[in-house]
Amino acid sequence: MGKHFSNELFHFVGQAHPTNEEKNFTILVKVLNDGWISHPPHKREWGATSLTLDLDKSLLTGQMVVPEMVCFCDIPLEHLGGHIEKYGRFGLSLNKDYAVRYGARPVTYFPMHDGDKSGVYGSPEILDFEAAYKGFVKHILHSHGDLPGCRTLTKIAETPLQAVTAVDSMFKRGIFAYVKVFNADLAEDDPDYFYAEKEWRRLGNIGFSPAEVQHVVVAPGFAGRLSKPYPLTRGRLRNAPEVKANVVLWLHFTARLGRRNLVPRTKYLVLRTARCVRRTEAGSRSTRY
């Protein structure tokens, strides 16, 4: 495929602890042993496509709809350097066609700008989606009482209750669960520039067989420890590139300081609040190990 696309989707296991290589190696081994990429509590099953709805929160923060999901990136192997700086140097890729057959699809990115609240695009556009759904819930959804727990896919509603149920489900599971807001003012190499992640999601978990694994990525020095117990990975093992020194500093201080981060730049480091990082991590029950 083209330079910016590939026939595989990568999943890395170090979101919560990108620089802890022994821990991430152990997690990767468990994923390979189990044959499952999963969200907490990491059950070896496909899992329900469940989510949490909190109408007091906002789509802008990623907290109004919180899906239980697993995440991937659609980035070719040779261009993974920037991605693994955030998510660690241990992961695997699945055949993209396989992932698509089992419900994986790309997120819908919404760009915003600092100070765009007086316009009609960016933050106002996202908040308009939010307001439309909250109005639907307040004036239509609640007037129909309890909704049925499930519906038949592709079936045209025969009653107002069925129609309301279908619209509510499509808003939450079909749209909001795949919304990702990013700040378009940031540089493309900024860790908070989420558009560069080229994220795909699958609600629930995803199981796989060795035949579906395209590559296994490990930090330099770990390939020998993996290839012996897992001979099927030998031809698919790839060393991850080294993490830049300034990114290591950013990752270290992110873990240590909590509310404030050292954010890497090409020529200097600047200290600023980590609003985007904090709200994104709080707003998704994704594949954290």
Write the DSSP string, 216-282: EEE-TT-HHHHHTT-GGGGGGEEEPPPPPHHHHHHHHHHHHHSSEEEEE-SS-EEEEE-HHHHHHHH
Using the predicted structure, report yes or no on whether residue 251 has a pLDDT greater than 90: no
Binning pLDDT at 50, 70 and 90, where does residue 48 land?
confident
Domain around 108: 8-117+179-282
What integer is the mean pLDDT of 76-88? 92
**Cβ–Cβ < 8 Å for 44, 36:** yes
Q: What is the pLDDT of residues 110-147, one digit of tens each?
A: 999 998 988 899 999 999 999 999 999 999 998 877 77
Q: What is the pLDDT of residues 138-185, one digit of tens each?
A: 999 988 777 777 788 889 999 999 999 999 999 999 999 999 999 999
Instruction: Give me 56's structure tokens.
Output: 């007091």
Q: What region, left, alpha or beta, does residue 282 occupy, with left being phi > 0 and alpha being psi -120 to 50 degrees? A: alpha
Let me know if residue 80 belongs to a domain. Answer: yes
Q: What pLDDT does residue 260 have? A: 35
Which has the higher per-residue pLDDT, 247 or 220?
220
Q: What pLDDT does residue 3 have? A: 60
Which has the higher per-residue pLDDT, 34 or 232?
34
Single-letter code of the amino acid located at 158: E
Let me know if residue 130 belongs to a domain. Answer: no
Let me know if residue 183 belongs to a domain. Answer: yes
Let me know if residue 97 belongs to a domain. Answer: yes
CB atoms within 10 A of CB 225: 12
Residue 113: alpha-carbon gap to chain centroid: 21
Instruction: Give me 198's structure tokens.
Output: 């080229």
Q: Provide the terminal-to-terminal Cα distance of the chain, rounded to the nearest Å.
A: 31
Using the predicted structure, report yes or no on whether residue 193 has a pLDDT greater than 60: yes
Using the predicted structure, report yes or no on whether residue 224 has a pLDDT greater than 90: no
Instruction: Give me 137's structure tokens.
Output: 């819930």
Does the pTM of the predicted model rise above 0.75?
yes
Report how far residue 171's alpha carbon sits from residue 133's, in angstroms, rounded to the nearest whole number.
Answer: 7
Q: What pLDDT does residue 265 have? A: 33
CB atoms within 10 A of CB 123: 21
**Measured at the alpha carbon of residue 83, what is the angle toward residues 27 and 26, in degrees to the nearest 5?**
10
Instruction: Give me 275's structure tokens.
Output: 């609003």
Q: What pLDDT does residue 118 have? A: 87
Q: What is the pLDDT of residues 97-113, one digit of tens each?
A: 999 999 999 999 999 99
Q: What pLDDT does residue 170 have? A: 93
Using the predicted structure, report yes or no on whether residue 38 has a pLDDT greater than 70: yes
Mean pLDDT of the chain: 83
Let me know if residue 51 belongs to a domain. Answer: yes
Let me know if residue 73 belongs to a domain. Answer: yes
Single-letter code of the amino acid located at 177: A
Residue closest to 90 by CA, chosen among 187, 222, 182: 222
Binning pLDDT at 50, 70 and 90, where does residue 262 land?
very low
Let me know if residue 249 belongs to a domain. Answer: yes
Let me know if residue 27 belongs to a domain. Answer: yes
**Cβ–Cβ < 8 Å for 285, 62:** no
Quote the number of domains for the chain.
1
Question: Which residues are bridge partners to 53 per DSSP?
Answer: 65
Strands 36-37 and 260-264: what pairing? unpaired
Long-range CB pairs of 134-141, under 8 A, 24+ apart, other chains included: 134/55, 136/167, 136/168, 136/171, 137/55, 137/168, 140/164, 141/168
Q: Using CB atoms within 10 Å of the CB of residue 85, give its burial: 0 to 12 exposed, 13 to 18 middle, 19+ buried.
A: buried
Using the predicted structure, report yes or no on whether residue 276 has a pLDDT greater than 70: no
Report the length, in residues, of the chain. Answer: 289
Cα separations in angstroms, 2 against 6, 24, 35, 75, 76 = 7, 30, 29, 11, 9
